[in-house]
Amino acid sequence: MTTMNKPEVLSPAGDIECLRAALMYGADAVYLAKKSFGMRSAPQNFDQEQLFEACRLAHSKGKKIYLTCNTLPRNRELDSLKSFAKEAAEAGVDSFIVSDIGVMSLLKEYAPEIEIHISTQAGIVNYASAREFYKMGAKRVVLARELDLDEIKSIRDNTPPELEIEAFVHGAMCVSFSGRCLLSQYLTGRDANRGECAQPCRWSYSLVEETRPGVYFPISEADGGTYILNARDLCMIEHIDKLARAGVSSFKIEGRAKSSYYVSVVTNAYRAAVDVLMSDSENYSPPGWILDEVNKVSHREYSTGFFFKDSPPGQNLSDGGYIRNYDVAAVVERSDGEYLDVIQRNRFFSGDTLEALIPGREPVAFSAQEIIDKDGEAVGAANKAAERYRIKCSLDLAPGTVLRMNNQK
């Protein structure tokens, strides 16, 4: 392939801070939710005023906003769908992300000017389904996570070229089929389809014989039992060229419940990776710093998901925790070429090495040799959360730039 359409980098936002981070670090589009009809309840999500602001910010940069409406609503919820659609249209969202065909039909009636994207919750695994959704008016399909590259290519080859194809490229994965898991509801009463999943797939399990309560038998040889349901995280940053050739036109990053730091780092990595891909699509080889970036956020052991037939995703059987080697030290408010005005996020000390996460570039390390508090006094540490400090640094950094530190030293 000598020519290739530039894939979209699609980033998550659970709140306005994450939205700003996604836009700053190179997202082409951002997907988010209002307070209802979105499958994530943990993040703050967006009220109507914030949705207006999100669309204004994105559109001012030539970017797009996709609004999730991907729960499976019950009869009693449908009455509020009309106002939901009208408010979304007033705010200026670019698409709805939908899984239910009834909801799709109502949204097309209430807000016909807004594009429809079919959620991964619809479980699209073949070209027949993709074609039917296109005939019903869908602009894009978000494929099920369980497809391999050959299956994706077959969908692309057997659907209208006008139909866009989106696939997840990074983030947490459900052990069950595309998130339609009942474990959480059975064990805790929290409905995963309402964004309340307690993630019981991450828990440690042992076997109990019913006449011996309290006597636990490990399912594996490990002393701590087994995390047999604990899926690894997805990371395809080394293989985005193969995804693009298979026909994926939008690279989706999972993480609406993740921090703005996560959104910044992962968005920046995939933005840079796509730019490398487009500079030489035949010989994609991202530099080491891009590959290193995805290891500098909180994550589980990575896999390539289901994309490669000979490399199944597998589980992390040893524990259900995260790998987390970096923390945010501060966020830049202003730079004058001699000092940085920052808001502290985590404690750091004079002499610590910090890294500036610069959009589209390799991070730059520098030493925080001088720290000045809000009273103008030199201090040995920035140890008061959310307070303003000055750091001596000649780097010219934009407002919003993330400064981080290695917590393993």
Residue 313 domain-assigned? no
Low pLDDT (below 70) residues in the chain:
1-3, 38-43, 176-182, 185-186, 191-195, 218-226, 228, 317-320, 409
Residues 160 and 212 in one domain: no
Please enumerate in sequence order all residues whose Cβ is within 8 A of that of 99, keeping only pairs 6 or more positions apart, or say none: 70, 71, 72, 118, 119, 120, 121, 122
| CATH code for the domain of 364 | 2.40.30.10
Residues 161 and 37 in one domain: yes
Segment 160-164 long-range contacts (CB within 8 Å, at least 24 positions apart):
160/131, 160/134, 162/134, 163/130, 163/131, 163/134, 163/138, 163/139, 164/117, 164/139, 164/140, 164/249, 164/250
CA dist., res. 179 & res. 120, Å (int): 9
pLDDT tens, residue by residue, 41-58 = 556 789 999 999 999 999
Q: What is the pLDDT of residue 39?
A: 58
Residues 342 and 365 in one domain: yes
CA dist., res. 320 & res. 226, Å (int): 9
Domain count, the chain: 3
Q: What is the pLDDT of residue 187?
A: 77
| CATH code for the domain of 26 | 3.20.20.70
Residues 40 and 75 in one domain: yes
Residue 339 domain-assigned? yes
Q: What is the pLDDT of residue 37?
A: 73
Residues 63 and 150 in one domain: yes
DSSP 65-105: EEEEE-S---GGGGGGHHHHHHHHHHHT-SEEEE--HHHHH
Range of the domain at 347: 326-406
Residue 85 domain-assigned? yes
Q: What is the pLDDT of residue 2?
A: 42
Residues 117 and 263 in one domain: yes
CA dist., res. 223 & res. 221, Å (int): 6
Residues 169 and 182 in one domain: no
CA dist., res. 10 & res. 28, Å (int): 6
Q: What is the pLDDT of residue 223?
A: 60
Residue 310 domain-assigned? no
pLDDT tens, residue by residue, 184-205 = 766 787 766 666 778 777 777 7
CA angle 237–116–88, rounded 5-degree value: 105
CA dist., res. 92 & res. 336, Å (int): 36
Please enumerate in sequence order all residues whose Cβ is within 8 A of that of 239, keeping only pairs 6 or more positions apart, or say none: 304, 307
Q: What's the distance, CA 170 to chain centroid?
A: 7
Residues 26 and 133 in one domain: yes
CA nearest to 269, candidates 244, 286, 249: 286
Largest CA distance in the chain: 72
- For the record, the structure tokens of 16 come out as 């306005």
The 3-state DSSP class for residue 222 equals: coil
Residue 314 domain-assigned? no
CA atoms 308, 99, 18, 7: torsion sign:
positive
Residue 316 domain-assigned? no
Residue 257 domain-assigned? yes
Residues 334 and 400 in one domain: yes
CA dist., res. 369 & res. 272, Å (int): 30
Residue 321 domain-assigned? no
Q: What is the pLDDT of residue 1?
A: 40
Residues 364 and 287 in one domain: no
CA nearest to 225, candidates 200, 251, 207: 207
Residues 388 and 258 in one domain: no
Residues 253 and 187 in one domain: no
Q: Where are the beta strands (DSSP E) in 292-344?
A: 302-303, 326-335, 339-344
In DSSP terms, 98 is beta-bridged to 69, 118
CA dist., res. 391 & res. 268, Å (int): 24
Contact yes or no for 183/176 (Cβ under 8 A): yes
